[in-house]
């Protein structure tokens, strides 16, 4: 009976010829290219003990692929392994991995499909597959893995907990692998699904936390000049919509409204037919023009929630710029080529649905618009990771965000180190829930985009935008500025090449200039165009607002002799909006102001 590994290759090529590197190849792999300090450090730590499983968490843009392929070359040169299998989240990343491996002297087949059986072709040292691909035929991938001494590289390994089939698939396929290297930029999930092949340490409070073998976070990478500093441009504005009950609702972004109102206001802001999105896209394009004065090929990316809004955003950008943006709607071969073409081109914008948020390597992306509804730490970190890859020291990334509390918190905690935590009190100690429904990528995308609309039916009635602040390194700079004003342009016009210390100094300078302009408003000519005033600052929580409103209603009811309910009904007729428990901060304030005027009168 022939050796089982011979079944993996085309006739005429022996297993030894196919998998074993020649001496010249080994020498080249040991010396070619220059590694970053963290990559050398991580490789040294691995080689000190050569564990079977090794988890590396490195911030997006730090060079996880280069690290993994250099380690793979070393293990092949030592004859520790002679086959390499890479498991990636998406089809596009298969090609990206294979191209990078080729530059490292490792030939991986990214076009292998399950229909090819056990034969992935002659001349290759291994294959690149997706988690979904492995889940469909885990036994087939198990046979391929066990037929040789194999290194399995699991890219963005947190996807191993995405569904019952994905987790079980990689466990079945790669349980016998000689070496397993797990990579992630975000070693945590938004749920309690345990990630296969990771070690978890039990904490005193009963939770389990993923045990990372080597960490290289954003903060250290920023200090090393490996990634770009990120400036967040925060935009607020007044939103107006009609609820399913027919009530007209109004709210401002960033006012501290209840979650359901914040969610609806956020959805209204992202409406491609409202003024808010148009204003933000124009501002982002102005910022991109400024960056391109210093980085000639700088590009921008709008991350949309679904196909319909992505197409509408692309149409808006075409009208704004006079140039048709690249439009990426799905994870297929055509999308991969469009992304690759954009990466090499000099065009301004790409609009994509959520799939571009993870792993896609387009180093020239410098400006982003976060126009999707996801507010999980995992997705946010992946999305921001598309803009931080540095090609030369001093490049700055700029991301435009709506003033939504969850996003503001994530922006302020960009440098925070995270691990995957399991809450065992919820019964998450089980590896995978046998009753969990199989969820594929398309379903997850639709569920995510429906997160805003599933809880209510509404109709967007209008929106406007204003610059609210810039956020850098967890600090806020500047304040309210109307769209198109000098104050807004001060922040949009920051140079595209800056050291991190220069970013902070310039933001402080712009903030001081804005304050001086505000203080000198009294000297504006009577013929100057009228400027919108900043909205009244509300320093109360919504609970305190409701309490104050009830107190004022009580005072007014005693004066008029009307029941409290009648006063509330009158306020709703005059000021608009729903009952108190569902009213926004702005609507409550309008009623408070109305009662104060009547009581003072």
Per-residue pLDDT tens for 363-393? Answer: 899 999 999 988 877 788 888 888 988 888 8
pLDDT band, residue 459 (cuts 50/70/90):
confident
Q: What does the H/E/C string look like for 298-316?
A: CEEEEEECCHHHHHHHHHH
What are 34-46's pLDDT values in tens digits?
899 999 999 999 9
pLDDT band, residue 93 (cuts 50/70/90):
confident
Taking each helix axis from N to C end, the angle separating 164-174 and 138-146, rounded to the nearest 10 degrees, works out to: 20
Dihedral sign computed on CA atoms, order 273, 253, 374, 216:
positive
Query: How high is the mean pLDDT of the chain?
Result: 80
Top-confidence residue, 283 or 389: 283
Using alpha carbons, list the distances in angstroms from residue 61 to 184, 351, 384, 415, 572. 11, 20, 10, 14, 52
Top-confidence residue, 161 or 260: 260
Give the DSSP H or E segment for 549: helix 542-560
Side-chain half-sphere exposure of 150, counting CA atoms within 13 A: 24
pLDDT band, residue 339 (cuts 50/70/90):
confident
CATH of 4-222, one of 3.40.50.300, 3.40.50.2300, 3.20.20.220, 1.20.1250.20: 3.40.50.300
pLDDT at 282: 97
Dihedral sign computed on CA atoms, order 144, 146, 147, 153:
positive
Q: Which residue has the tokens 């490789």?
A: 43
pLDDT at 205: 66
Give the DSSP H or E segment for 37: helix 37-49
Domain with CATH 3.40.50.300 in the chain: 4-222, 234-418+432-521
Asked if 184 and 158 touch (Cβ cutoff 8 Å), the reply is yes
Report which of 431, 420, 421 is spatially closest to residue 186, judged by C-alpha positions: 420
> Phi/psi at 472 (nearest 5 deg)?
-145, 130
Most confident of 109-118, 193-202, 236-245: 109-118
Q: Which residue has the tokens 């380690």?
A: 71
pLDDT at 527: 37
Measured from the Cβ of residue 527, the count of other Cβ atoms closer than 10 Å reads 5
pLDDT band, residue 206 (cuts 50/70/90):
low
pLDDT at 268: 94
What are 566-601's pLDDT values in tens digits?
888 888 878 877 778 778 888 888 888 888 888 887
Token pair, residue 421, equals 């935590």
pLDDT at 111 over 90: yes
Report which of 132, 509, 461, 127 is spatially closest to residue 268, judged by C-alpha positions: 461
546 burial class (0-12, 13-18, 19+ CB within 10 angstroms)?
middle
Mean pLDDT over residues 246-252, rounded?
85
Mean pLDDT over residues 351-370, rounded?
80
Mean pLDDT over residues 312-338, rounded?
88
Express as a percent the part of the chain with pLDDT over 70: 77
Top-confidence residue, 539 or 277: 277
pLDDT at 554 over 70: yes
pLDDT at 211 over 70: yes
Report which of 232, 234, 496 is spatially closest to residue 390, judged by C-alpha positions: 496
pLDDT band, residue 463 (cuts 50/70/90):
very high
pLDDT at 430 over 50: no
Token pair, residue 561, equals 């002799």
pLDDT band, residue 422 (cuts 50/70/90):
very low
Indicate the CATH number for domain 234-418+432-521. Answer: 3.40.50.300
pLDDT at 85 over 50: yes
Report which of 345, 574, 353, 563 is spatially closest to residue 449, judged by C-alpha positions: 353
pLDDT at 30 over 60: no
pLDDT at 278: 97
pLDDT band, residue 456 (cuts 50/70/90):
very low
pLDDT band, residue 338 (cuts 50/70/90):
confident
Report which of 77, 403, 10, 97 is spatially closest to residue 237, judged by C-alpha positions: 403
Side-chain half-sphere exposure of 116, counting CA atoms within 13 A: 19
Mean pLDDT over residues 273-296, rounded?
96
pLDDT band, residue 437 (cuts 50/70/90):
very low
Asked if 567 and 560 touch (Cβ cutoff 8 Å), the reply is yes
Of 29-33, 143-147, 400-404, the one with minimum mean pLDDT is 29-33
Express as a percent the part of the chain with pLDDT over 90: 41
Top-confidence residue, 144 or 14: 144
SS3 for 159?
A: helix
Asked if 62 and 181 touch (Cβ cutoff 8 Å), the reply is no
Give the pTM. Answer: 0.72
Top-confidence residue, 144 or 354: 144
CA distance 306 to 324: 19
> Phi/psi at 178 (nearest 5 deg)?
-65, -40
pLDDT band, residue 16 (cuts 50/70/90):
very low
pLDDT at 531: 43
pLDDT at 153: 97
pLDDT band, residue 150 (cuts 50/70/90):
very high
What are 486-507's pLDDT values in tens digits?
889 999 999 988 887 888 899 9
What are 168-204's pLDDT values in tens digits?
899 999 999 999 999 987 655 555 567 778 777 776 7
pLDDT at 370: 96
Mean pLDDT over residues 338-366, rounded?
83
């Amino acid at each position: 009976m022939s050796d089982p590994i011979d079944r993996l290759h085309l006739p005429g090529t022996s297993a030894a010829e196919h998998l074993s590197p020649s001496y010249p190849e080994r020498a080249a792999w040991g010396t070619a290219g220059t590694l970053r300090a963290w990559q050398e450090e991580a490789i040294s730590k691995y080689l000190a003990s050569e564990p079977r499983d090794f988890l590396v968490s490195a911030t997006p843009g730090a060079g996880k692929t280069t690290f993994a392929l250099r380690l793979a070359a070393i293990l092949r040169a030592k004859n520790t392994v002679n086959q390499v299998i890479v498991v990636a989240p998406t089809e596009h990343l298969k090609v990206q991995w294979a191209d990078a491996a080729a530059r490292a002297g490792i030939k991986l087949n990214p076009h292998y499909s399950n229909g090819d059986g056990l034969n992935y072709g002659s001349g290759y040292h291994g294959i690149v597959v997706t988690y979904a691909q492995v889940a469909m035929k885990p036994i087939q991938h198990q046979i391929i893995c066990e037929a040789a001494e194999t290194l399995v590289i699991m890219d963005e390994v947190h996807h191993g907990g995405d569904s019952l089939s994905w987790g079980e698939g990689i466990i079945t396929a790669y349980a016998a692998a000689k070496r397993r290297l797990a990579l992630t930029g975000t070693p945590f999930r938004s749920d309690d699904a345990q990630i296969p092949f990771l070690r978890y340490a039990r904490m005193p409070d009963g939770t389990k936390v993923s045990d990372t073998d080597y960490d290289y976070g954003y903060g250290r990478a920023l200090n090393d000049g490996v990634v770009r500093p990120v400036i967040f441009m925060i935009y607020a504005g007044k939103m107006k919509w009609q609820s399913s009950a027919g009530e007209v609702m109004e709210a401002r972004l960033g006012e501290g409204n209840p979650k359901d109102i914040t969610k609806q206001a956020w959805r209204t802001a992202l409406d491609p037919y409202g003024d808010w999105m148009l204003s933000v896209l124009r501002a982002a394009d102005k910022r991109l023009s400024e960056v391109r004065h210093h980085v000639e090929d700088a590009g921008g990316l709008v991350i949309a929630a679904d196909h319909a809004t992505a197409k509408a955003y692309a149409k808006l950008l075409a009208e704004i710029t006079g140039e048709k943006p690249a439009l990426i709607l799905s994870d297929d071969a055509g999308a991969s080529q469009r992304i690759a073409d954009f990466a090499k081109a000099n065009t301004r914008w790409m609009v994509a649905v959520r799939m571009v948020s993870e792993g896609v390597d387009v180093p020239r992306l410098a400006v982003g618009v976060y126009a999707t509804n996801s507010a999980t730490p995992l997705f946010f970190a992946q999305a921001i990771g598309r803009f931080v890859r540095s090609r030369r020291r001093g490049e700055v990334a700029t991301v435009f965000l709506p003033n939504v509390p969850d996003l503001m918190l994530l922006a302020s905690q960009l440098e925070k180190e995270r691990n995957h935590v399991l809450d065992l009190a919820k019964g998450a100690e089980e590896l995978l829930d046998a009753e969990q429904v199989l969820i594929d990528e398309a379903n997850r995308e639709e569920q995510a985009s429906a997160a805003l609309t599933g809880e209510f039916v509404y109709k967007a009635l209008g929106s406007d935008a204003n610059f609210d602040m810039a956020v850098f390194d967890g600090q806020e700079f500047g304040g309210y500025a109307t769209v198109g004003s000098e104050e807004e342009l001060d922040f949009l016009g920051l140079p595209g090449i800056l050291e991190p210390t220069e970013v902070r100094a310039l933001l402080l300078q712009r903030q001081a200039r804005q304050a001086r302009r505000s203080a000198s408003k009294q000297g504006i000519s009577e013929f100057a165009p009228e400027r919108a005033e900043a909205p009244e600052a509300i320093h109360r929580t919504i609970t305190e607002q409701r309490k104050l409103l009830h107190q004022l209603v009580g005072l007014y009811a005693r004066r008029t002799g009307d029941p409290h309910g009648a006063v509330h009904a009158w306020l709703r007729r005059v000021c608009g909006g729903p009952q108190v428990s569902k009213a926004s901060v702005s609507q409550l304030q309008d009623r408070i102001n109305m009662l104060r005027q009547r009581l003072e009168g």
